[in-house]
């Protein structure tokens, strides 16, 4: 079992998470947030799976998890701006009487797990294709 390349994982996830959060906060991708999130998660997973020397799927899971946590952190940090630009989300009632920041904080790990699993599955697909296309994939690659 290989180690996780934390430098690669953190750099890819933080840049992608901050970019995605910026797009959602400014309502640039309004109405397409879920599709853009899938594109970002897939892109991070592919990047990490190809660049990681060992354990591409484990690296991709960590990057997907961290991507979601970073994106949700920035959304919670800039929540007033997010609600100003996305007023339809400001009126949605939250369960248990939670505030929006508490709701995001409480459910961020769940979003991270879902993003991590999606990135993990994407990396497994990338790894399966790469084994057929690139000889020597199992020995480490560039």
- 81 C-beta neighbours (distance < 10 Å), count: 13
Question: Cβ(42)–Cβ(93) under 8 Å?
Answer: no
pLDDT for 92: 84
3-state secondary structure at position 38: helix
pLDDT value at residue 137: 57
- Specify the pLDDT at position 100: 87
State the pLDDT at residue 78: 92
How many angstroms separate the CA atoms of 63 and 14, rounded? Answer: 9
Going by C-alpha positions, the residue among 103, 119, 118 that lies closest to residue 52 is 119
Residues of the chain with pLDDT under 70: 1, 134-142
Other Cβ atoms less than 10 A from the Cβ of 96: the count is 7
pLDDT reported for residue 136: 61
Q: Residue ranges of the domains in the chain?
A: 6-136
Instruction: Count CB-CB contacts under 10 A for residue 103.
Output: 16
Residue 68 has a pLDDT of: 95
């Amino acid at each position: 079992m290989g180690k996780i390349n934390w430098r690669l994982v953190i750099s890819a996830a933080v840049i992608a998470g901050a970019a995605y959060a910026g797009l959602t906060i400014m309502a640039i991708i309004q109405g397409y947030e879920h599709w853009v999130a899938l594109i970002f998660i897939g892109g991070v997973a592919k990047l990490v799976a190809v660049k990681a020397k060992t354990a591409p799927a484990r690296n991709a899971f960590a990057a997907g998890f961290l991507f979601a946590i970073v994106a949700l952190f920035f959304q919670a940090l800039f929540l007033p701006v997010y609600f100003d630009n996305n007023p339809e989300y400001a009126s949605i009632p939250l369960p248990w009487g939670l505030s929006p920041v508490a709701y995001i904080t409480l459910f961020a790990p769940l979003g991270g797990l879902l993003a991590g699993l999606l990135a993990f599955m994407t990396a497994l697909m990338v790894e399966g294709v790469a084994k057929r296309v690139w000889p020597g994939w199992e020995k480490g690659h560039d």
